[in-house]
Amino acid sequence: MASGVKPRVKVPKTAAAGEAVTIKTLISHNMESGQRKDKEGNVIPRSIINRFTCDFNGENVIDITLEPAISTNPYFEFQALVPEAGEFKFTWYDDDGSVYEDSKKIALG
Amino acid sequence: MNKLTGAILATLLTTTVALADPVDDNLVLNEETQIVTRTAAPAHLSDVLDEVMSGWLFRGTETRAMQADDFDNPGMIFVEQAMETWDAVDGTEGKSCSSCHNDIDSMAGVKPTYPKWDAKAGTVQTLQMQVNECRTERMGAEAWDYDKGAAINMEAALSSVSRGMPVNVAIDGPAQSTWEQGKEMYYTRTGQLELSCANCHEDNYGMMIRADHLSQGQINGFPAYRLKNTKLNGAHDRFKGCIRDTRAETYSPGSAEFIALELYVASRGNGLSVEGPSIRN
Amino acid sequence: MELTRRNAIILGASALFVAGLPKQSAAAATSDELIAAFTGGAEIGTGDIKLTAPEIAENGNTVPIEVSSDTAAEILVLAMGNPTPSVATFKFGKLAASRAASTRIRLAGTQDVVAIAKLDDGSFVQASSTVKVTIGGCGG
């Protein structure tokens, strides 16, 4: 696992049924592009988050393929529909096989 | 062809002039904390500047927006890491920062007064030195390297709880001689390019230096998350970069020279809000 | 532009320069290949796709962009001047409240950023935006 990787998500605590909510996500990650060289001139191997998904109660909101051109500490903002109370699940997939997860409950209100 | 060149030149000049002035914009953090990004210059600067301005005003629209919301501000990732360190026991005494200081929010108001005179040490201390004093003398832990990961992250965390408070470093009393030393450095030309801090940041702020917008060189926003290296940067590291760019032998972060310079430069921003962790280029 | 002797020299020099460039590394797909893979060779029109990017990016490391559409199922983003042009592909699920997303991207220099959307009706549309990436001041 790459060191210091920590997901953050921002989701409102409540929403009306059928409401659109704005979600922000940020994960601390170097996103080593595979384009850089170290001091000895060797290429530093690519090591990035290559996929991010957001689901709500098992139904997909967004599925993003990331390439090395996504900045360090990948940030996404998008909107989700909240048909009922439930839980958002966020998943980040690392090149090294690690999977980072976070989840947020949202109540109707 | 001449007509075309003329038109292009006119466009370039217009663009440059439009970009050169600091923007007229207002920084409110998380829709609640008002940040003072321009204010009347402190008395000791009144013969050279009317107004002091945060570097925030010299940055682009997108960069400014990134600082206005803690979630959008990648510097807060490092603040969160330091918040965990705050509660983590380290060293032979079995203590964490919170063992003595409780919640980090209780440190609001500390950052704006640093660097400051420390009677016991008999010297001016920066906030990072104070943190290391706690670590080595009270926690029995090892000192952190100056402006490096753990140290700069902790300085940013301590700064974050003081955001919106005015910078207010003392320049008189026992700190005065250190302040005078910093002032002397600020106005002394160095390096093969023979540039002083003042040549760029007092005489020419607002101008473009190649494609970059020269600010007043205020440090109220430090530690700063820089887009160029995507991490938190300390004021001493920034001084080092500037001095290197004058093609001079530079000082080390944590050196007596940079402590003096930090006190003097901080005092030029007395009255501006603490902003760290800010977003800069 | 009139073809004067001076311009002819410049044109000739540029042609030489292009010819002298090394080939793209075999591993990196070209933007044409990436677009073909996304569209399956279908024609790309204009319409329901919007790309928002700064006209001038202060630093190429972190350039905020937004893609939005009313009816896109998927949006491919390419940075045409990067060593590898792929940036991201956004697929919108059943619970996407809008076909829009924002992120921050790396641009190796001044270039065109392109967003190609596959719409619900199966057609493809594209939008592009030129982003000027500024270089630093005195090396700092």
Is residue A78 within 8 Å of residue C101, measured between CB atoms?
yes
Is residue B45 within 8 Å of residue B201, measured between CB atoms?
no
Q: Average of pLDDT values for B221-235?
A: 95
Map B106-151 to HEC letters: HHCCCHHHCCEEECCCCEEECHHHHHHHHHHHHHCCCCCCCCCHHH
Dump the DSSP string for chain C. Answer: ----HHHHHHHHHHHHHHHHSPPPPTTSPPHHHHHHHHHTT--EE-SS-EEE--SEES-TT-EEEEEEESSEEEEEEEETTSSS-EEEEEEE-TTEEEEEEEEEE--SSSEEEEEEEEETTS-EEEEEEEEEE---SS--
User: Is pLDDT above 50 for C93?
Assistant: yes
Determine, yes or no, domain membership for A24.
Answer: yes
| Å between C78 CA and nearest CA of chain B | 20
Determine, yes or no, domain membership for A45.
Answer: yes
Determine, yes or no, domain membership for A1.
Answer: no
Nearest to B245 among C2, C4, C139 (CB): C139
Residues B122, B125, B128: CA angle, nearest 5 degrees: 145
User: Is pLDDT above 50 for A68?
Assistant: yes
Helices (H) and strands (E) in chain A, counts: 0, 8
User: Is pLDDT above 70 for A14?
Assistant: yes
Looking at residue B92, its pLDDT comes to 97
Q: Average of pLDDT values for B265-277?
A: 98
Nearest-by-CA chain A residue for B73: A26
B242 annotated active-site: yes
- Residue % of chain C over a pLDDT of 90: 73
Looking at residue C1, its pLDDT comes to 44
Instruction: Say if the Cβ atoms of A68 and C84 lie within 8 Å.
Output: yes
Is residue C103 within 8 Å of residue C81, measured between CB atoms?
no
Is residue B131 within 8 Å of residue B115, measured between CB atoms?
no
Q: Pull the structure tokens for residue C133.
A: 């990436």
Q: Average of pLDDT values for A56-68?
A: 97
Looking at residue B20, its pLDDT comes to 65
**CA distances for B246 relative to B8, B127, B157, C18, angstroms:** 32, 27, 31, 37
Q: What is the dihedral of CA B79, B85, B86, B90, to 10 degrees?
A: -160
| A70 shares contact with chain C (CB less than 8 Å) | yes
Give the up-direction half-sphere exposure of residue B228: CA atoms within 13 A in the CB hemisphere: 15
Q: How far apart are the first and last CA of chain A?
A: 39
CA C49 – CA C118 distance, rounded (Å): 9
Determine, yes or no, domain membership for A53.
Answer: yes
SS3 (DSSP) at B251: coil
SS3 (DSSP) at A13: coil
Determine, yes or no, domain membership for A40.
Answer: yes
What part of B 226-245 touches A (C-beta under 8 Å)? 230
CA C12 – CA C78 distance, rounded (Å): 30
Instruction: Say if the Cβ atoms of C58 and B60 lie within 8 Å.
Output: yes
The burial class, CB within 10 Å (0-12 / 13-18 / 19+), for B121 is exposed
Q: Pull the structure tokens for residue B67.
A: 């600082």
**Average pLDDT of chain B to the nearest whole number:** 92
Higher pLDDT among residues C5 and A50, named by residue: A50
Dump the DSSP string for B42-97. Answer: PGGGTTT-SEEE-GGGGS-HHHHHHHHSTTT-THHHHHHHHHHHHTS-BTTTTB-H
| Containing structural domain, residue A43 | 6-108
Give B32-61 pLDDT, tens digit per residue.
Answer: 999 999 999 999 999 999 999 999 999 999
Taking CB atoms and an 8 Å cutoff, what residues of chain C touch B245?
Answer: 138-140
Instruction: Say if the Cβ atoms of B209 and C138 lie within 8 Å.
Output: yes
Q: What's the maximum distance between 2 C-alpha atoms anywhere in chain A?
A: 58
Nearest to B230 among A6, A10, A73 (CB): A73
Nearest to B110 by CA among B175, B28, B165, B67: B165
Dump the DSSP string for C63-89. Answer: EEEEEEESSEEEEEEEETTSSS-EEEE
Of B7-16, B167-176, C21-30, C50-59, least confident by mean pLDDT is B7-16
CA B89 – CA B102 distance, rounded (Å): 13
| Å between B144 CA and nearest CA of chain A | 18
User: Is pLDDT above 90 for C25?
Assistant: no
**Average pLDDT of chain A to the nearest whole number:** 94
Is residue A55 within 8 Å of residue A10, measured between CB atoms?
no
B176-186 and B256-268 helices, crossing angle to 10° = 90
CA B221 – CA B239 distance, rounded (Å): 14
Looking at residue A4, its pLDDT comes to 75
Of A3-17, C21-35, C40-54, least confident by mean pLDDT is C21-35
CATH code at position A40: 2.60.40.10
Determine, yes or no, domain membership for A31.
Answer: yes
Determine, yes or no, domain membership for A60.
Answer: yes
User: Is pLDDT above 90 for A65?
Assistant: yes
B256-268 and B235-245 helices, crossing angle to 10° = 100
Q: Average of pLDDT values for A17-46?
A: 93
Looking at residue B196, its pLDDT comes to 97
Residues B130, B131, B136: CA angle, nearest 5 degrees: 95
Rounded to two decimals, the pTM is 0.87
Reported confidence tier of residue B209, pLDDT bands at 50, 70, 90 = confident
| Å between B106 CA and nearest CA of chain A | 25
| B93 shares contact with chain A (CB less than 8 Å) | no
Looking at residue B222, its pLDDT comes to 98
Give B106-159 pLDDT, tens digit per residue.
Answer: 999 999 999 999 999 999 999 999 999 999 999 999 999 999 999 999 999 999
Give B237-248 pLDDT, tens digit per residue.
Answer: 999 999 999 999
**If you count them, how many residues does chain A have?**
109
Taking CB atoms and an 8 Å cutoff, what residues of chain C touch A61?
Answer: 92-93, 95-96
Number of independent structural domains in chain A: 1
Residue B46 CB partners (closer than 8 Å, separation 6+): none
User: Is pLDDT above 90 for B83?
Assistant: yes
Nearest to A78 by CA among A49, A55, A106: A55
**Average pLDDT of chain C to the nearest whole number:** 84
User: Is pLDDT above 90 for C2?
Assistant: no
User: Is pLDDT above 50 for C131?
Assistant: yes
Instruction: Say if the Cβ atoms of C56 and B60 lie within 8 Å.
Output: yes
Determine, yes or no, domain membership for A26.
Answer: yes
Instruction: Say if the Cβ atoms of B60 and C138 lie within 8 Å.
Output: no
Reported confidence tier of residue C138, pLDDT bands at 50, 70, 90 = low
